[in-house]
Structure 1
Amino acid sequence: NIRRIAELGRLFVDAGLIVITAFISPFRADRALARGIIGEDSFIEVFIDTPLAECERRDPKGLYGKARAGLIKNFTGIDSVYEPPLNPEIRVGTLEQSLPEVVSQILAYLDKRSSVS
């Protein structure tokens, strides 16, 4: 799934568009594959760093509870591993930062990056 998303994203990037995607991508190898497909110069990894307990607290559909009850198998963070990024370009700390702070952080990164290019 991540490979298909990356291939589609690359098509849009090649057309000169800015592409933002949000996907559960628990494995470093899959994220590295996406980076390779899209290209080092165009890929920006944003790590939404939220503790598991907070994800469970915020869960509007009750999926974590179902996973803990064994009703959903291979659920990331419960019975399937999550490999956090080692060197994301941007780390968003959802417990420490407000939405306006996160937006400012991402825009500042993009501004800095575009002035370097």
Structure 2
Amino acid sequence: MSQPFDVSCSRHGADVVIDADERRARLGHRGAVVWITGLSGAGKTTLAEAAERALFERGCNVFVLDGDKVRGGLCADLGFSLPERSENIRRIGEVARLFCESGQIVIVSAISPLRVDRDRARRLVPAPHFIEVYCRCPLAVCEERDPKGLYRKARAGQLLEFTGISSPYEAPEAPEVLVDSAASTVGEEVAKLLDELARRGIVRAA
């Protein structure tokens, strides 16, 4: 497995390779992977898009990798069995790593139900550049929201291996950022995330 930020095997001289400090000087911030996990309907995409907007308006190079969009392209060949879910997250993690190495802040919004898969993504990115965000929301609230009608279909047996109903979700045990979308506003969630990015030296404090 390739190591992030390792240019020791490059054929070129050190004066040619662009390092992380040069990218930070150009962009005004460090690269990072913000990995938002939670049940379907927990508010991951809402938080990701709001955080992207807030960082963009502060002049950051930032991009959202949305799980649904990745599923429709890069991972269109995968189903929803646990092994295929793991491969889906592996691919997202590799793409996120490349964004991070380029000096960008990439916000991943994906259910990513298993801790082992999220931990594997974490290992691709050196500390303190990986920030796991747990978008916590009770299952009953997610089902009540059900913006895509997926829970209704899962309860009716029309969707097999649906996370939270017929397939497991393992909540993070020690996320860097915990937001409760059933009790807090999006603005409060974004502020909490930006404070963590500033504390880690990824972006400048407001």
TM-score class normalised by the smaller sequence: over 0.9
| 3-state SS of paired residue (2:108) | coil
Higher helix content, 1 or 2: 1
Structure 1 runs not aligned, ≥5 long: none
Tell me if the contact between 2:154 and 2:165 (Cα under 8 Å) persists in the aligned partners. Answer: yes
Name 1:6's counterpart in structure 2: 93
Choose from 139, 143, 157 the match for 1:56: 143
Identity %: 50
Counterparts of 1:98 and 1:11, CA distance in 2? 31
Choose from 98, 101, 104 the match for 2:188: 101
State the Cα deviation string for residues 47-99 of structure 1 (Å, max 9, x = none): 00011011111112211011011100000000111100000000010112111
Give, as a single letter, the amino acid of the residue that structure 1 aligns with 2:166: D
Name 2:109's counterpart in structure 1: 22
Deviation at 1:112, TM superposition (A): 1.2
Counterparts of 2:126 and 2:90, CA distance in 1? 13
Choose from 151, 158, 183 the match for 1:71: 158
Counterparts of 1:112 and 1:83, CA distance in 2? 27
Counterparts of 1:61 and 1:20, CA distance in 2? 22
Choose from 128, 148, 157 the match for 1:41: 128
Higher strand content, 1 or 2: 2
Counterparts of 2:198 and 2:160, CA distance in 1? 41
Structure 1 runs, 4 residues or longer, greater than 3 Å off: none
1:111 is the counterpart of 2:198: yes
Structure 2 runs not aligned, ≥5 long: 1-87
| 3-state SS of paired residue (2:113) | coil
Tell me if the contact between 1:49 and 1:92 (Cα under 8 Å) persists in the aligned partners. Answer: yes
Deviation at 1:111, TM superposition (A): 1.2
Tell me if the contact between 1:47 and 1:90 (Cα under 8 Å) persists in the aligned partners. Answer: yes
| 3-state SS of paired residue (2:179) | strand
Give, as a single letter, the amino acid of the residue that structure 1 aligns with 2:137: T
Tell me if the contact between 1:7 and 1:38 (Cα under 8 Å) persists in the aligned partners. Answer: no
Tell me if the contact between 2:128 and 2:200 (Cα under 8 Å) persists in the aligned partners. Answer: no
TM-score, with length taken from structure 1? 0.93
Aligned length: 115
